[in-house]
Amino acid sequence: MNFSGTTISQLAIHFVGNKNSNALHLSGKPQNLEEELATKLLQYFLSSFDNATEKYVFTHAESLQYNEVYNYTGEIFAAKEDFITCSHG
């Protein structure tokens, strides 16, 4: 996979509790990212895709429109002003 044009422009940080705490705190607005932090986060998030051809399938036998990941990410990136709402699921 080629990630050369990939960037992180927004970040939502949510807190999810554990089995002893039902706490769920959802971010109300995107966090500001400085360029250095955005670069480090991008490296961290994309490092798991090094051998993507062996681990992940981003296609569908019939059509890409039936791939769930493709559809979910498409919705998030299509509505940039709704980024936080989409992140709440």
In the chain, domain spans = 15-87
CB 8 within 8 A of CB 41: yes
- Identity of the residue numbered 34: E
pLDDT score, position 78: 81
Q: What percent of the chain has pLDDT over 90?
A: 11
DSSP for 51-80? THHHH-----SS-GGG-HHHHHHHHHHH-G
pLDDT for 58-67, tens place per residue? 788 898 888 8
pLDDT at 88 > cutoff 70: yes
What is the pTM for the complete model shown?
Answer: 0.61
pLDDT for 24-58, tens place per residue? 888 888 888 899 999 999 999 888 877 666 666 67
Average pLDDT over residues 72-77: 80
